[in-house]
Amino acid sequence: KEDYEVDEEDRVTLINGENIPWEEVKRNGFDYISIVCETENGEKAEIVSLELA
């Protein structure tokens, strides 16, 4: 929470200007992303794996 600007009503303004409750940020936010590709043969290759926090 220290990395966000939370107002006195416990709300956060997103980059698109939308203002949502902190609990919604925690519930719906992403902190990890992984992209995996699968070939026609069924082989999988991880392209990227990042922690966003």
For 23-46, b where at least 16 C-beta lie within 10 A, e where not — what string? eebeeeeeeeeeeeeeeeeeeeee
pLDDT at 16: 92
pTM for the predicted model, two decimal places: 0.54
Decide if 5 is inside a domain.
no
pLDDT at 53: 64
Contact between 20 and 8 (Cβ < 8 Å)? no
- Overall domain count for the chain: 1
**What is the residue range of 35's domain?**
11-51
Decide if 6 is inside a domain.
no
Decide if 35 is inside a domain.
yes
Mean pLDDT by 10 residues, the chain (53 residues): 87 92 89 92 95 76
Decide if 42 is inside a domain.
yes
